Structure 1
Amino acid sequence: MTVLSGAGMSAESGVPTFRDVETGLWAKVDPYEISSSDGWRRHPEKVWAWYLWRHYMMKAVDPNDGHRAVAAWQDGAEVHVVTQNVDDLHERAGSARVHHVHGSLFSFRCDRCDVPYVGPLPPMPEPVETVDPPRCACGGLIRPDVVWFGEPLPSEEWDRSVEAVSRADVAIVVGTSAVVYPAAGLPEMALAEGIPVIEVNPEETPLSDRVTISLRETSATALPGLLQRLPALLG
């Protein structure tokens, strides 16, 4: 089984989604300014403060029943999780094969030499406007290892994700808007190869009328009992 998860799945744990105009984390912040290499070059101290806050904020958020259900499926199947989310909720729930196609808030690297950074991080009890990022031994700045606007996806994670989808007996798409490419192309690839695709989303998406089954439910509601429902859903 391959699970393709998006922001809606983390939102059920209380993580604000970037697409929520009213309450999203980007409601008062220019998204391009804090999620692009241009913004990083202009104001690295602002971008670093933003991601450092999100890094610590995620530690106060727990996996929900959907995350835990996906981890429990490993007891009887090979389960891969391909996630657009930059949090670690799948891992904390117990999933062993998680592929982060948009990077992770919990890994960092030098913006000059790309060497991973494993040093200390300054504490951040509350959000602040600016924090100077650490420096690498080469003189470069340490940046979050996430994918910003205009940057390519991490090739190794992407290749593993494509393989996981192509080898799946069933693909389950959870909480994604189905509009962010190239990740949105993965369920389309599964359908093209004749792999059943189940969508779990309380909202209709551009993918809804093309999948094998579309469930208008939240992940925390649908996923805990989904394995038992699969035979009936797939006929």
Structure 2
Amino acid sequence: MSRLADKVAIITGGARGMGASHARLFVKEGAKVLIADILEKEGQALAKELGDNARFIKLDVTNKENWEQAVAVTEDAFGPANVLVNNAGITMNKSIEEMTLEEYKRIVEINQVSVFLGMKAVIPSMKAANGGSIVNISSMNGLVGGAIGYTDTKFAVRGMTKAAALSLAHYGIRVNSVHPGVIETPMIVQEETKDAVKEFAKYIPNGRVAKPEEVSNLVLFLASDESSYSTGSEFVVDGGMTAR
């Protein structure tokens, strides 16, 4: 039996990288998926690849009205959403001395404010569905230090997850955070960060950078009813980095 039968999911940052990996696995396991991203060409191509159980919408995750539209499109196409994966995020390889206020605010808006907006927007839909699962993608840098801006917001996602889990438990809505380590995605192999990532990978206890699918398997578990008693918790997939 498909592990996500009868699930309707919204996945942000779903056009490529980890988000696309999540979308592919979700559809394979029986879910209907709204792929939400600012990358129209890639998102539309992925939705076409995945067939009738996938739709694409252009979503600015920092925009409240865009979120409301995304939920409405999901409900029109598939019914009430009962899974949300807040996957969209950015990083910047700059020190606190180099980073401008505008750059810092941009990271906060995309990595942190978007998670608040997404959770808030999907609550009525999940209530209509008699419950649901919200999976917030944080980072190992939501547990230990890292780049300024990125670390700050990923710690915030971890805290927001716990607060929302307590607030929404009586609706049957579960909220958990996932904390990936170094994953082979476009975000970390961009020109300004790829050398640092290559050097960092030498210190991973498992000896390698992870594939997106290795994170997707954990996200699948949290989206499914198999994790029905897990809420307000951190799930780490980092090759042993935070075990040091």
The interval holding the TM-score normalised by the smaller chain is 0.3 to 0.5
Give the alignment's TM-score, normalised by structure 2: 0.41
Bigger Rg, which one: 1
Give the alignment's TM-score, normalised by structure 1: 0.42
Query: Which gives a bigger RCO, structure 1 or 2 (Cα 8 Å, sep 6+)?
Result: 1
